[in-house]
């Protein structure tokens, strides 16, 4: 499995959300090296604060495999998952998460996970690995917000 190949696909997926004025985050989910789902952020267009790229791929994959658990799966996403997405990743029993850019947050991914595990009784521990094509993934977000500021 080549993580960079999957992350490059996520970057292309993220560009789709940028084209519709969504924050450019792209994700895909694999199971046994087969892509089950691909998506990007759609929160603004769907008026749904939970429509993050990661949640979208989890929903789509669960429908595809007809199960709310996605065992033996790997999630790739261009941005470090937020608390909501981390919780969904745990509930779906996703084994590994590879992400590109680190979120500009006071808490690291490990601290977010520890907080959720300690305070919300999560019983699944995925492996989180960040920094895959970090520069390219970071530029997507930075350029999006730079262009947004120019519009005002």
CA distance 152 to 148: 7
Q: Looking at the annotation, which residues are catalytic? A: 54
* CA R_g for the chain: 15
Neighbours of 49 (CB within 10 A): 10
Q: What is the DSSP string of 4-72?
A: HHHHHHHHHHHHHHHHTTS---EEEEEETTEEEEEEE--HHHHT-TT--HHHHHHHHHHHHHTSS---S
The answer for residues whose C-beta is within 8 angstroms of residue 61's C-beta and 6 or more apart is 29, 31, 36, 37, 70, 73, 92
């Amino acid at each position: 499995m080549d993580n960079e190949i999957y992350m490059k696909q996520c970057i292309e997926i993220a560009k789709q959300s940028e084209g519709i004025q969504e924050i450019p985050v792209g994700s895909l989910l694999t199971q046994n090296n087969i892509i089950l789902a691909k998506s990007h952020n759609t929160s603004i267009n769907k008026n749904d604060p939970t429509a993050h790229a990661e949640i979208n791929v989890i929903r789509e994959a669960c429908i595809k495999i007809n199960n709310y658990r996605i065992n033996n799966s790997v999630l790739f996403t261009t941005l470090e998952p937020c608390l909501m997405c981390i919780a969904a990743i745990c509930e779906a029993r996703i084994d590994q998460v590879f992400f590109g850019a680190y979120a500009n947050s006071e808490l690291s991914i490990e601290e977010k996970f520890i907080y959720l595990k300690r305070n919300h009784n999560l019983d699944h521990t995925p492996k989180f690995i960040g920094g895959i094509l970090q520069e390219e993934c970071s530029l997507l977000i930075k350029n999006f917000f730079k262009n947004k500021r120019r519009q005002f």
